[in-house]
Structure 1
Amino acid sequence: MSEIRFAPLARLVDAYAPRLAELAFEPGFVAVVDQHVAELRERLRGPSPDLPAEAPDPEDLSDYALGFLDALEELGWREPVGHDFAVCRLTAVCWLVREHRLLEPDAH
């Protein structure tokens, strides 16, 4: 896996992975992030009964994350203290990366 190719995904994880700690004490946030994870899996792989166990392709997830961040930048979005749609989606991306160890050298 090329570190340069996945640099946007690594930067996103560096910036938003701290939100994963909030999952330990905010059940509502857990539920919403879980929904975003399911939507991301479907968007990246299509509907399938095996989706929960399958890791997303790191390149596809990186491309998606980069496009999502670009759209947020165009909108002038700034990370809020709470949990808006963007925070939940970005946290879901981080969860997928962590869960499937997508940035580890031997992950794929």
Structure 2
Amino acid sequence: MNDSPDCPLVGVAATYMPRLSEFGFEPGLVAAVDQHAAAVCDALIPAQRGPRPRTVRREELADYVLGFTDWLTEVDWIEPIGHDFATLRLTAVCWLIREHDLLAA
């Protein structure tokens, strides 16, 4: 997988990455996104023992995003103004993309 427009991470990053700039204005948003990022990691990576950091892989996160966005389509989700479960989850995906440098060439 590369960072072509066909990669689902590219579209999510383009749409939701700007929400990371809201962290400075909404302290509660940081905590909420952190919880969602942890939940995504739990879904992708089995619990690891010891101090080793979890490694998020682009292919696995892309598969997760495809499943999540397919579900949003099935339930006719419309992005609200503000933050709901889905926007928090997609913002958390962007945080993971940034933290793990998943769109780097």
Say whether the fold is shared (TM-score over 0.5): yes
1:17-96 → structure 2 map (5 Å cutoff): 17-49=17-49, 53-96=53-96
Unaligned segments of structure 2, at least 5 residues:
none
TM-score by length of structure 2 reads 0.89
TM-score normalised by L of structure 1: 0.87
Shift of 1:50: 5.7
Aligned positions, number: 105
What's the Cα RMSD here? 2.0
Check the 8 A contact 2:5/2:11 in 1, yes or no: no
- Normalized per residue, which structure has more helix? 1
Q: 1:59 and 1:51 mapped to 2: Cα distance?
A: 24
- Of all paired residues, the percent bearing the same amino acid is 49
Give deviations 1:4-55, integer Å, cap 9, x for gaps. Answer: 4961111111111111111121111111100011111111011124688333
Shift in Å at residue 76 of structure 1? 0.9
Q: Which amino acid is 1:69 matched to?
A: T
CA distance in 1, matches of 2:38, 2:51: 8
Deviation for aligned residue 1:82: 1.1
